[in-house]
Structure formats: C-alpha cells, structure tokens
Chain A
Amino acid sequence: MRVVPIAKANSAISFVSECEEGSSEIPKLDLPITRRNFLQGSGILMGTIASGSLIASFAPSTVWAVELKTLSKEQGETLMAMGKVLFPHKKLPDAVYGLLAKDLDAKASGDPEVARGMVEGINAVNKSAGGNLSKASKAKAYAAVKGLEGTLFFGLVRGQCITSLYDNDMAFVALGYPGACWEKGGYITRGFQDLKWLPNPDAQSSPPPYLG
C-alpha cells in the first residue's frame, strides 16, 4: 500500500520544514504500512484525499498516513481536530492536519514535560467538548478550543500550526504558492507581469524587462 509520503525520503522525523529546494514535488517513495511494526509508538493516523482534488492529482496516492511515537491515535485525532478549529481551511486536506499531529508528537517525544502538558491539554479540550473534540459539533468544538486560549497548551498548538500547516508541499499546492523557482529560472519569462485586469503602467514608471 502506498501512502502520501509526507516525510522527505531521507528523513524520518523533520518533514514539515523540509521542502526540497528547487522542487515542489512530493518525492514518490513507498512507505509500507508494516513500518509501524518497527515503531514503539502507539498511534497511526490515516485518511484519504478526496479524489479529483488538486492535491490528489499531485500526490502519488490518495491514501495518507502518519505515525505517532508518543501519542495515541485518539490523542492525535484530537490535535487534528483542534488544528481544524484554529485554522479551518476548505482548501487544505486532512493530511496537512495530520502533519500537525505528527509534529506535536515529535515535540512530546523529545521532552516528557511537554508530553505531560500535551496530554493534559488534550484531555481538557476533549472534556470541555463533551468527551471527544473530533466528534463534537462545530459550535461545541469552537467553544472548547476558545476556552483554552491563553494556556500554554493552546499557545503550543497554535504556534505549531503556523509551520506545520503552512510550510509543506501540500499547503503550497492547495494555496497556490509554487515555492522555490530558481531551477525554473525565476519568473522573468514565466509571468511576473501576467496580470491583465488592470491597465499596464507606463514605460517610464515600469520599463520593459531586459532580455539580453
């Protein structure tokens, strides 16, 4: 079975900030699901990307999975749900929120204090959502997350969202940002002036490009 390889081919942990320079392609490697056997971890988050979406046409598979080392599957799902309340996006697939859970899990794995605080926070937000944030109604989930504003846990999750959700190849595709362009020669011949819905500036204010 193939999964959307969210990790860089040669990196098991730090995948979020590892956008390959010069390429916004997701490397096509196969991570067999049996890999979980090698992990001590307790959770694995899985899902599918809606076929026909922009991301699906770009990803090698419509199935995604991330492995958690410290947190359980349910705890990971709570963090994903919290990410969706904090930064709700029609354009972003669930897999991106899976990255959030994986990154927070990595933080928890690196520091028992952080892990303890994270589990406490997860329990608190689940409790105030009536037991399970990921199954709560939109209004209830929002109130549960809003209620934690100002806590360390809230700050940790919100802050992690900024890099986990927005610094990855799937978000780049979904939001229309191509990332690095050096290898493609920049935009001098690729549409840096392609806006057509406003009048062009006069040549005095914006001279034509030098093309050699």
Chain B
Amino acid sequence: MTKFDFNDDSVVVIIGSGAGGGTLSNELAQKGVKVVNLEAGARQSPASFIQDEWKSFGQIAWLDPRTTSGDWRVAKDFSGLPSWICKTVGGTTTHWAGASLRFQEHEFKARTVYGDVKNANLLDWPLTLEEMEPYYARAEDKMGVTRTNGIPGLPGNNNYKVLHAGAKKLGYKEVHTGRMAINSQPRDGRARCLQMGFCFQGCKSGAKWSTLYTEIPKAEATGNYELRPESHVSRIEHDAKGKVTGVVYFDKDGKEQRQKARVVCVAGNSVETPRLLLMSESNLFKDGLANSSGQVGKNYMRHLTGSVYAAFDKPVNMYKGTTMAGIIRDESIHNPSRGFVGGYELETLSLGVPFMAAFLDPGSWGEDFTWWMERYTHMAGMWIVGEDMPRESNRVTLNSKVKDKWGNPVPNVHYDDHPNDLAMREHAFTQGEKVYKAAGAIKTFRTPPYPSTHNLGTSRMSAKPQDGVVNKWGQSHDIANLFISDGSQFTTSAAENPTLTIVTLAIRQAEYIAKQMSERMI
C-alpha cells in the first residue's frame, strides 16, 4: 500500500471518504494526483456489516456528541443526534438507500423560479442542469444507476406493490421502482441485489454502490492514494499569505499528527465540514476559514422529510427486499398552486422491529403505540423527501459548552421549520395517506422526521463571494487551494436525494483541481 510522508506537501488531502471525498479521491488518483484521504471512522467491509439495526448503528453511525436547538421536532426527539450519518470508511454511502435522481432544471434556479420567499435565503446555483448533465451521466455510469445506461429497473417488493397500487388509483403517473445505485444484475465486479432489506446497515452483497468497495479500492490500485482510517481532523492550517498548508488530526491512538498538503478538500458532511472551518479560525481568519461572507455554517438544510406508515388487514411484510423500493415522482414539480414552492418525492421505506419501535412515534407509549407494533407484518411505509428552504438562522455553530473527546467544541445544529416546509409537509402527509387509503389501508400514521440523513448547504456555492462560501467548482472564494467536496456546497436542497449530485460535483471538481494543479494555479 502506498504511504505518503507527513511532510510531503505535494499531496491533496481529502477529509472524508463518502460520496464526495471517496469519489474525489478516486477521480484524482486516476489522473495521477497524489491523495491522502483522512477518514474519521474505521474500515468495515460487506463481510463485517451486521444485519441487526442497533448493532449496526453502533458499528457505523456518527455518534460523537452534538447538540441541537430550534423548533424542529428532531431537537426534542433526538436532542443529541441531529443527523443520522456515518463515521466509517465510505461514509454515509454505506448507509444510504441508493436513490439516484438528477436535480431538475428549475431547482438550480430556485431564487429566480420561486421568487423572494419571505424569511428564506434563496439563491440560484452558479451552474445549470445543462452544465451538470455530462457529469450526471458519468456518475450514473460509475454508480450503475438503474434505468440509465441500459440497466434494468429493480424488481419491486411487497412494500412497492402497495405504493404502486395506491398511487395508480390516485392517478399518479410517474411511479416505478426508482433510479437506484443498486445492481439489478451483476455489474462492475459487484453482485446483483439479493433483496435482503438491510440497505441502511451496509449492503452485505455489495450490490448497492458505496465508495467503500468501489472508489476506494480503485483508488488504492493506482498507487497514488493512501487511506488513513480513524483519523479525526481537528484543524486546517494556513500560511501567512492565507493559503492552506496542511491539516492536524488525531490518529487512531489519539496522537496528534500533521499532514502537509498542496490542496485541502473538505468532505465531512454538512455538520462536520463547517465545524472544521469554524474550528480553524486564526488571527488572519478570525471568523473561521473561507468565511469572509459570514455564510459558513448557515443555510443548513435537511430536506423536509417525514414518513407515512399504513396498516392493512392483510400482510405486507415490508421488511423483505430493498428499503427504498419505489417512488412516486409526480409531486416533485414546482406548482405554487399547492400552497408552497418546490416539490417532494414519495419513496417507500421500511424499518425493522427495533427501529420501528424507536422511530414510529418517538416519546410515545400506550395502546395507540402498541396497536401499530402488533401489526408490524401488516404495515407498509413511505418517506417524504422534499425541498426545504435555506435560512441564515438555520445553522451549524460551535458549542463551546460541550467538548468532544479531544477537547474541541461540539457542533450545535439549529433548525426552525419554514412556513413553506410546514405547508409542503402537510401536503405530502395528506397525499401519502391518500395513497395508502386508496390501496385499502385500515389506518395511517404520520411519523415525524428521523434524525437528518440529508445534511446540506452549510458552505454553499454562489456566483458572488459575498453570498456564499465556494464558487461553482466548490473552490472557496477566499482560499484558492481549499475546496468543499460534499453536500455542504449545495446552494439549495432540491427535492431529490442528494448523493448522485454530490458524486457528480466530485467528478466535475476533480477535473478542475487536476487542471488547476497542472496549470500551477494552485
């Protein structure tokens, strides 16, 4: 395995090995760029993944202390767990369900199309769908997305049958088993899906795309890449001219190490990324790195979310087969006559008994609750994924009152639902319930949001430096050799699951970084 010296200042240091960091690492390594990839979590494999919800949670989830505030229900139900993401090699691509949808054209122009939404901080992306399309195509090919590149769709499970039947009765048109980065047939050295139903726990057959067993081993094979697991970065350093020079991190033995770098790319997911920029404040950058706009940590988005579960008088056994087995896309359009801007997707979801108990209705008890648990086998479920509004006041800040095990301030995640979010969630809950009633449900239930899996926007892209943190390449406006490479870049959240767009941006960013390096611009 390739090893780089701590003092090798020709390397690109990439922080995080998930959809953004893992993809960027491989793309750069393939181009001959030397990469040191620092990952806070340990390395697992399909063989070591555990099909047990709580045990798996302990194995791969990000459980470092965090705090919450704001009027969102997550702050009440899961005050120490604002987000449900992963601390493991491969990041949250180990846990994601695989939905891979392109953003729609209008979603890149949210400010222009939606107008001046009160108390929202909307902005157009500094790029367009047209610019993204060739890179979307490469990402879909890389990830093996079904219904692209001649790859057949996945077969729908029982949970999908229920969604499909209800959706069709209701008159929905675009209903299918989704565009999924899960092999419906063997591809790219990976097996086809076995319909196990433990997508969230790490795919034991490797059918679901994860950087853990695609991008990372491919990068390792180039000889240009070194992965350092269990390496928690606490600071990005810079020189007197304001260029970043390397990072300081705690290795697996808790020892502080310093890795020099020519370029630093941050892909720690949208809570850790701004936290690291803020923790790296200095005399030169008193408000944190790349923060002349004051936007670092702001505009935190987490998608609308919410779930509808339904009970039927006949069995469904939704746990059999893929977690996200199908989708209704009709509501993802922008149609303000519904009472809100932007749109949402409805996607099937299922949980096992242990997580159903934890997430169906957090904090509740009594016969109303056990009525549902007793009907576990007769339940179907769907998840709402909708565009939420960016707001300056929804933000990640440092909470100096609480320290992590290395003595650093933990991130506080503040979120208040915007009236547009509330109106959209109400609409989506209503439609979701209608779908299940049309399929014959005897009862439906509105499950509040889980801890956030889609964390976005805390270092957003903007055309003008005063409006955001990075430019259209994810390069920070302030520091030319500092990049943001994860969902933190998102200017707005769009209605679609974010991973495909994160991967697409990483492929595009790798081209830019390699070119800038070869032209000695960075």
Contact = CB atoms under 8 A, between A and B. Distances in A.
Interface of A: 17, 19, 21-22, 86-91, 158, 161-163, 165-167, 171-172, 175-182, 185-188, 190-195, 197-201, 204-210, 212
Contact of B158 (A89, A171, A193): A193
A36 to B, nearest CB: 29
Given A166-B354, A195-B158, A205-B175, 8 more contacts: A89-B373, A90-B374, A161-B365, A175-B373, A186-B197, A187-B197, A192-B195, A205-B176
A153 to B, nearest CB: 14
A88 B157 contact: no
Contacts of A208: 155
B480 interface: no
A186 to B, nearest CB: 3
B152 A210 contact: yes
5 contacts: A177-B353, A195-B161, A198-B440, A206-B164, A207-B184
A205 B52 contact: no
Interface in B109-154: 152-154
B321 interface: yes
Contacts of B317: 176, 191, 194-195
A200 B184 contact: no
B156 A198 contact: no
Contact of B164 (A21, A175, A194, A205): A205
A175 to B, nearest CB: 5
A19 B319 CA distance: 17
A5 to B, nearest CB: 18
A176 B319 CA distance: 10
A192 B157 contact: yes
A190 B321 CA distance: 10
Contacts of A187: 157, 194-197, 320-321
A205 B157 CA distance: 12
Contact of A186 (B196, B314, B365, B374): B196
A167 B157 CA distance: 25
> Which of A166, A188, A191, A195: most chain B CB closer than 10 A?
A195
A158 B366 CA distance: 10
Contacts of B175: 205
The number of chain B residues touching the other chain, given as a range, is: 35 or more
A70 to B, nearest CB: 24
> Which of B156, B196, B353, B440: most chain A CB closer than 10 A?
B353
A43 to B, nearest CB: 25
Contacts of B164: 201, 205-206
A167 B315 CA distance: 21
A200 B374 CA distance: 27
Contacts of B161: 193, 195, 198, 200-201, 206
A163 B353 CA distance: 10
B55 interface: yes
Contacts of B353: 166-167, 171-172, 175, 177
Contacts of B363: 158
B6 interface: no
Interface in B306-343: 314-317, 319-321, 326
B354 A181 contact: no
Given A188-B195, A207-B155, A21 B51 contact: yes
A175 B376 contact: yes
A212 B186 CA distance: 9
A188 B155 CA distance: 9
Contact of A192 (B158, B198, B358, B369): B158
B158 to A, nearest CB: 4
A200 B168 CA distance: 12
A201 B51 contact: no
Contacts of B177: 205-207
Contact of B365 (A158, A179, A180, A206): A158
A176 B195 contact: no
B54 A167 contact: yes
A87 B370 contact: yes
Contacts of B162: 195, 198
Contact of B52 (A161, A179, A194): A179
A27 to B, nearest CB: 15
B5 interface: no
A163 B58 CA distance: 13
> Which of B50, B164, B194, B369: most chain A CB closer than 10 A?
B194
Contacts of A158: 363, 365
Contacts of B204: 182
Contacts of A91: 374
B184 A177 contact: no
B514 interface: no
A197 B158 CA distance: 10
B495 interface: no
Nearest to B192: A210
B197 to A, nearest CB: 7
Interface string B369-411: 1100110110000000000000000000000000000000000
A91 B91 CA distance: 38
Given A162-B358, A186-B197, A187-B320, A181 B158 contact: no
Contacts of A172: 353
Contacts of A19: 52, 55
